[in-house]
């Protein structure tokens, strides 16, 4: 009888030990799970913080490389003539009117548009300053891509923080009118999709009406009814004339805005 009691006691002890062991394992697993979950949560929090930092670092910097599009009466949003201020929407609405009086008004408006005024160097400088462009006057004529006369002033403009001139403006010393604006960088283009580096043949595919002329040893592609012309890469061309085939193989070295009335007069 005593043996049975002792044996039963031993069995209970073993059972209790087993239960204690199981309880310990359960507690250990539970604590471990909490630690793992906590670590995961902490990791998630760390990842979220890192993502926020990355987003802050990827904020765009100030764009210094402005691409200029040369149009007939403006460059980007900088007006070069009074015609640049005429709203296209108003012209479109006027064109829809069919009565004779409206048609006559449209014709009169077209005549007035032809008598446009050209912007002064002060007005252009002010517009460029708003776009963070600085003006630097260049005294030496030989630094200019095309020779200028004694009555003209050459001003180069570059973006603040950069040294390279983005555009060069020739103005009249008499009335301060802008006479030419020159772009030599390949990143700029004109409204006809012509860019520096294109051949004369490629230019004529885009603008079939272009002519060529030779002036002061320089070769130009131009049109009588356009303010946008091109300097070709024939430096100090020798001769009195240049064949059309030669011009087609030359490359565009500069896009030039020059009022058509000026280059008609100076041919």
Q: How many other C-beta atoms can be found within 10 angstroms of the C-beta atom of residue 252?
A: 23
Would you say residue 107 lies in a domain?
Answer: no
The kind and range of the H/E element at 28 are helix 2-57
Range of the domain at 36: 16-59
Q: Which residues of the chain have pLDDT under 50?
A: 1-10, 12, 23, 25, 27-29, 31, 34-40, 42-49, 52-63, 87-92, 107-108, 110-112, 141
The separation between CA 82 and the C-alpha centre of its own chain, rounded to angstroms, equals 24
What tens digit of pLDDT does each residue of 27-51 get?
444 545 544 444 445 444 444 445 5
Would you say residue 105 lies in a domain?
Answer: no
Say if residue 46 is in the same domain as residue 75: no
Say if residue 43 is in the same domain as residue 158: no
Say if residue 22 is in the same domain as residue 77: no
Q: Indicate the number of domains in the chain.
A: 2
pTM across the whole model: 0.66
Determine the pLDDT at residue 119: 96
Nearest alpha carbon to residue 236 among 222, 254, 215: 215
What tens digit of pLDDT does each residue of 139-168 get?
554 556 777 888 888 899 999 888 788 899
The CATH number for 147's domain is 2.60.460.10
Q: Which string of DSSP letters, residue by residue, matches 93-128?
A: HHHH--SHHHHHHHHHHHHHHHTPPBPBHHHHHHHH
């Amino acid at each position: 009888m005593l043996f049975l009691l002792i044996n039963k006691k031993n069995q209970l002890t073993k059972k209790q030990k087993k239960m204690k062991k199981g309880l310990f394992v359960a507690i250990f697993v539970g604590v471990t799970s909490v630690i793992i979950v906590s670590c995961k949560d902490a990791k998630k929090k760390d990842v979220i913080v890192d993502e926020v930092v990355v987003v802050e670092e990827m904020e765009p910097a100030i764009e210094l490389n402005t691409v200029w599009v040369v149009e007939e009466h403006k460059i980007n949003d900088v007006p070069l003539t009074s015609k640049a201020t005429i709203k296209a929407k108003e012209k479109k609405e006027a064109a829809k009117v069919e009565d004779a009086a409206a048609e006559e008004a449209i014709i009169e408006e077209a005549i007035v548009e032809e008598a446009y005024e050209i912007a002064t160097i002060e007005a252009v400088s002010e517009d460029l300053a708003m776009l963070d462009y600085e003006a630097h006057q260049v005294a030496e004529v030989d630094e200019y891509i095309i020779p200028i006369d004694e009555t003209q002033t050459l001003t180069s403009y570059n973006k603040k923080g950069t040294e390279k001139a983005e555009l060069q403006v020739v103005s009249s010393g008499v009335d301060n009118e802008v006479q030419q604006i020159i772009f030599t960088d390949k990143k700029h283009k004109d409204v006809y999709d012509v860019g520096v580096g294109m051949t004369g043949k490629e230019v004529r595919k885009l603008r079939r009406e272009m002519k060529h002329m030779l002036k002061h040893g320089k070769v130009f592609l131009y049109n009588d009814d356009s303010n946008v012309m091109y300097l070709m890469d024939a430096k100090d061309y020798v001769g009195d004339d240049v064949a059309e085939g030669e011009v087609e193989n030359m490359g565009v070295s500069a896009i030039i805005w020059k009022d058509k009335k000026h280059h008609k007069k100076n041919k």
